[in-house]
Amino acid sequence: MASDSLGAFDMGLKGHLVMLHGMTGTSAKMLPLAEEITPSGWGCLCPEGPFIHPSGGRAWWLSEQGSRASDSEIESQISISLDRLEGLLPTGKLILGGFSQGGAIASAMCERDIFDRVVGLVLIATKTVRYKELKRELDNLPPRSVVWMHGDKDHIIPIEAALEHLKCFQDAGWTVDEFRHKKGHMVDLSQKAAMIRSLERVARFD
C-alpha cells in the first residue's frame, strides 16, 4: 500500500482512498487511520486544508464558534478548498472521505465533474454544509456507496444534523453501511474492522 500525506500517488494502484482531516487537524494526524482502513491494493492520500486555524493545525474553512467570518466568506473558503482538493486528486478510482469538516468537503465534491470517478464516500462525525446543492447533485448521479459513522453524544455536530446528511444519500438510493455509536465527536475504533470490510466491498465497485 502506498501513502503520502502531501498528495503524491502511485499510478500502479487499483485506486486511492482520500481522507481529509477535521478542523485543527493535519495530514499527519489523519494518516494513521487512513492507512489502516485503506482497501487492499489501493493507496491513500491525506491532503491538508488550505487555511491555518488560530488554535493550531489546518482547516477547510474558518467558521466555528468564535469566528467572525461572514456567510459569503465561508462559501468562498469552501470553494477554495474544493478547488485545491480537486487539483490534488490522482487519476483512477477514488473513495473520498473525512472526519468532521473533512467529511463535509468530501461530500461537497459531488458538485465537481471529477466525482464521476468516485465509487464511495467515508463520512465520519460530519454533516453537509451545502444541503440544497447536495440534494440537487445526488438526484443526477448514479447511486454509489457511503460508509457513515456518528456518535449519539457528539456535541460538535449533533446526531440530528448527521442523520439529515445521511438521509440525502438514502433518498438518492445509495448503499449505506451505518456505524452509529454511543460516544462523542470521535472515531469509534471498536467498529474499525467492520468499516474496513465495508471499504473492501466499496473498492470492488466498477
Mean confidence (pLDDT) of the chain: 92
pLDDT tens per residue across span 52-106:
999 999 999 997 544 555 678 889 999 999 999 999 999 999 999 999 999 999 9
141, pLDDT greater than 70: yes
Beta bridge pairs of residue 149 = 124, 179
Q: What's the pLDDT score for residue 100?
A: 98
Binning pLDDT at 50, 70 and 90, where does residue 10 land?
low
Cα separation, 158 vs 161, whole angstroms: 6
Max distance between CA atoms of the chain, in angstroms, equals: 45
Q: What's the pLDDT score for residue 73?
A: 87
Spell 111-149 as b/e; 16+ CB within 10 A means b: eeebbeebbbbbbbbbbbbbeeebeebbeeeeebbbbbb
pLDDT tens per residue across span 145-169:
999 999 999 999 999 999 999 999 9
Residues 6+ apart with CB under 8 A from 29: 21, 57
The total number of residues shown for the chain amounts to 206
Q: Mind listing the domains of the chain with CATH numbers?
A: 3-203 (3.40.50.1820)
